[in-house]
Amino acid sequence: MTVKLILRDKEYEVRPGMSLLDALKKSGIVPESVIATRNGEMIIDDEILKDGDVIKLVAVISGG
């Protein structure tokens, strides 16, 4: 099985057992540019991803 990261209409697959931070970097996603949620709950960068997890990523927009 795998872990799915979903950002907009793109899906990335990573292996379970890695941290969210490592999974984002491996997928080429800048960690500071997204907020991650699992089952509607926000998760932090050092969260360990489990087999079958579906992580929804919300792009953070900043500006002045």
Element (H, E) at 23: helix 20-26
Cβ atoms of 31 and 55 within 8 Å: the answer is no
Domains of the chain: 3-59 (3.10.20.30)
Please tell me the pTM assigned to this model: 0.90
User: What whole-number distance in Å separates Cα of residue 27 and Cα of residue 19?
Assistant: 12
Q: Three-state SS for 48?
A: strand
Cβ atoms of 31 and 45 within 8 Å: the answer is yes
**pLDDT band with cut points at 50, 70 and 90 for residue 44:** very high
User: What whole-number distance in Å separates Cα of residue 53 and Cα of residue 8?
Assistant: 17
pLDDT tens-digit series, residues 19-39? 999 999 999 999 999 999 999
